[in-house]
Amino acid sequence: MSAKSTTTAPHPAGGFELPSYPRDDSSHPIMGFTGYVGTRLRTPEQPLRPLPQWLTEVTGPAFGHERVGEMDADLTRQHAGQPLGERIVVSGRVLETDGRPVPNTLVEVWQANAAGRYVHAGDRHPAPIDPNFSGAGRCVTDAEGNYRFVTIKPGAYPWLNHHNAWRPAHIHFSLFGRAFTQRLITQMYFPGDPLFDQDPIFNSVRDERAQRRLISRFDLATTVPEWALSYRFDIVLRGADATPFEDEEDDH
Partner 1 sequence: MTAPLTTPSQTVGPFFAVPGALPWPDGPYVVPGGTPGAIRITGRVLDGAGEPVPDALVETWQADPDGGLGHPDDPRALAITGGRPFRGFGRCATDPDGRYWILTAKPGPLPTPDGRVEAPHLDVSVFARGLLQRLVTRIYFPDETAANAQDPVLSEIADHDVRATLIARAEGDGLRFDIHLQGPDETAFFAV
Least gap, CB of 226 to partner 1 (angstroms): 29
217 scored as a contact of partner 1 (CB under 8 A): no
24 scored as a contact of partner 1 (CB under 8 A): yes
How many other CB atoms are found less than 10 A from the CB of residue 228? 18
41 scored as a contact of partner 1 (CB under 8 A): yes
Q: Radius of gyration (Cα) for the chain, nearest Å?
A: 20
Are residues 237 and 94 in contact, defined by beta-carbon separation less than 8 angstroms? yes
- The residue within the footprint of partner 1, chosen from 101, 166, 180, 218 (CB under 8 A), is 180
Distance CA 22, CA 242 (A): 10
162 scored as a contact of partner 1 (CB under 8 A): no
- The residue within the footprint of partner 1, chosen from 62, 143, 224, 242 (CB under 8 A), is 62
Q: Which is it for the CA torsion 79, 81, 87, 91, positive or negative?
A: positive
70 scored as a contact of partner 1 (CB under 8 A): no
Burial 158-191 (b: 16+ CB within 10 A, else e): eeebeeebbbbbbbbbebbbbbbbbebebebbbe
54 scored as a contact of partner 1 (CB under 8 A): yes
Q: One symbol per residue from 116 to 145: x for binding partner 1 (CB under 8 A), - otherwise; what is it?
A: --xxx-xx----------xxxx--------
Least gap, CB of 182 to partner 1 (angstroms): 9
Distance CA 136, CA 108 (A): 8
Distance CA 116, CA 154 (A): 6
Determine which helix (DSSP H) or strand (DSSP E) holds 212, and give its type and residue range. helix 208-212
- Enumerate residues 87-116 that contact partner 1 by CB under 8 A: 95, 97-99, 108, 110, 112
Q: Which is nearer to partner 1, 198 or 223 (CB)?
A: 198
Q: Which is nearer to partner 1, 84 or 236 (CB)?
A: 236
Residues with a catalytic annotation lie at: 118, 157, 167, 170, 172
Least gap, CB of 6 to partner 1 (angstroms): 7
184 scored as a contact of partner 1 (CB under 8 A): yes
Q: Which is nearer to partner 1, 11 or 163 (CB)?
A: 11
72 scored as a contact of partner 1 (CB under 8 A): yes
Q: Which is nearer to partner 1, 154 or 228 (CB)?
A: 154
Q: Measured between alpha carbons, how far is residue 173 from residues 34, 132, 186, 188, 196 in Å?
A: 24, 21, 5, 7, 18
